């Protein structure tokens, strides 16, 4: 489920941050009876992500606002495509505009950026996966956007996967004791992944029973050697310094996964705007009958 209580809380925080005690510009320039229809449009080719969140932004302001998506999340659209129409009191459209667009631009940016990485590794079978390098509070949304762009999610947090990293290894006394303790203490349904820095570490991890080995900051020649050394006994994930220019060369080495922190921490926002296209005055409510 995308619209979790945490996401609604994030929306509420964003609205509170933006509106504060009230929108002074709208209050002083727009009569309360003015109704409006606005179009949300893409200004460039992009993968759409975040329409349910944008809809929830306006719903949190007032149920009188009607938000109608014209495309679906995950859809590739061209510039000038109408993503949604928003109809209701003009003051409410203006109250929600920036917050709704911020969510759409950020999430669509991640989906669009992810798609570029996914397309770059074709025709190799390596999967592009994300990391935990997400904006605080945004993780469920950002990982959703990665999926819409064709990427896959790595573990969601510290609680749903075992990934033994360099600091775990240092504190545990080495790769082998760290893996042995994980095997003894973890549920049998969880795979154990361990990060290594060199081919010797890969050999240790395989011998100790790791299921997946993360090859950290290795060049392409070393990655290719690691694939030959593993010979299918473990699945291999390449990580560290992954750029759009490099990722195809990494995929060509034969690794199974390529984790890219930049999918979320460096994705450029895409350009989306909202324009009011027509206005009218609401009809006055009928007077109640006299007693």
Which residues are known to be catalytic?
98, 133, 165, 195, 216
197 closest CA partner among 212, 217, 224: 217
What are the C-alpha distances in Å from 233 to residues 27, 187, 254?
A: 66, 21, 13
Distance between CA atoms of residues 274 and 54, nearest Å = 12
Phi-psi bin for 11: left (phi > 0), alpha (psi -120 to 50), beta? alpha
What are the C-alpha distances in Å from 291 to residues 97, 150, 286, 287, 288?
A: 43, 64, 15, 12, 9
User: Are 73 and 50 in contact, with CB atoms under 8 Å apart?
Assistant: yes
């Amino acid at each position: 489920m995308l619209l979790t209580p945490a996401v609604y809380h994030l929306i509420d925080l964003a609205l509170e941050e933006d509106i504060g005690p009230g929108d002074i510009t709208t209050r002083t320039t727009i009569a309360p009876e003015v109704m409006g229809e606005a179009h949300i449009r893409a200004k460039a080719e992009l993968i759409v992500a975040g329409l349910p969140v944008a809809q929830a932004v306006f719903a949190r302001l007032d149920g009188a606002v009607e938000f109608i998506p014209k495309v679906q999340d995950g859809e590739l659209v061209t510039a000038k495509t109408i993503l949604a129409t928003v109809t209701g009191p003009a003051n409410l459209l203006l109250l929600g505009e920036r917050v709704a667009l911020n969510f759409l631009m950020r999430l669509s940016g991640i989906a669009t950026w992810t798609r570029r990485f996914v397309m770059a590794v074709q025709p190799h079978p390596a999967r592009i996966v994300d990391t935990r390098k997400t904006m605080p509070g945004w993780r469920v949304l950002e990982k959703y956007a990665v999926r819409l762009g064709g990427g896959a999610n790595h573990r969601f947090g510290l609680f749903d996967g075992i990934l033994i990293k360099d600091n775990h290894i240092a504190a545990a006394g080495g790769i082998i004791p760290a893996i042995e303790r994980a095997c003894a203490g973890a549920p049998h349904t969880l795979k154990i992944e361990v990060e290594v820095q060199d081919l010797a570490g890969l050999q240790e991890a395989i011998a100790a029973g790791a299921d997946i080995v993360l090859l950290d900051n290795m060049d392409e020649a070393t990655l290719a050697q690691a694939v030959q050394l593993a010979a299918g006994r473990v699945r291999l994930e390449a990580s560290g310094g992954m750029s759009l220019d490099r990722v195809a060369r990494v995929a060509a080495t034969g690794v199974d996964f390529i984790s890219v922190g930049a999918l979320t921490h460096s994705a450029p926002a895409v350009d989306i705007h909202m324009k009011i296209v027509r206005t009218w005055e609401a009809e006055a409510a009928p007077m109640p009958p006299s007693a």
